[in-house]
Amino acid sequence: MKIRSRLKHCASGILARFISRNNDYQGFWTLGVLYGTVRVAPWRVEFNLISGDACPDNKIAVSVATEQSAFLRAALAKQKVAWHCVKRATLTVQFNADVRVGYTDTVGEPFVCTVGLESIAGHSATVSFAGRCAAWKPHLFSGRAGHVFPQI
């Protein structure tokens, strides 16, 4: 398999796992919690999956960046792509996005999530998903068993 195909496979896996309803932060959907932390323009969260940095730089975002970085390492290893061969690995979520989402019966505003990977040889892969997300608010959404209310 070519390196670009392997990178795209990893990016698709990270994206699918990240937007999944099973991806939670302290018992609540990670996307909703992140949206709750960025309730002002530019409505954006960016993660550098190589360094584990996040923008905005808060406890929740840094924790999510660290977790997603670990998943990226595992995905790359499964695809036999060496960690040092990846030059850029980003995960970006644009909340309150100006996009049309194919379904309208769900709650929340549109968001676009994009994962981009680039190798040191210049091969790159980018995958995106548009959906809807409501910002997490205490006592509005139910959490998983044993949840802890995040401190936003």
pLDDT of the chain, 152 residues: tens digit per residue: 599 999 999 999 999 999 998 888 887 889 888 998 887 788 999 999 999 999 998 999 999 999 999 999 999 999 999 999 999 999 999 998 888 776 666 678 899 999 999 999 999 999 999 999 888 766 555 555 555 655 55
Q: Which helix (H) or strand (E) holds 88?
A: strand 86-95
Angle 88-53-59 (CA atoms, 0-180°, nearest 5)? 155
For residue 59, how many other CB atoms are within 10 A of its CB? 12
- The separation between CA 87 and the C-alpha centre of its own chain, rounded to angstroms, equals 18
pLDDT at res. 144: 58
- Pick from 16, 35, 14: nearest CA to 95: 35
Q: Which residue has tokens 């990893």?
A: 10
State residue 135's pLDDT score. Answer: 80
- pLDDT of 133 reads 87
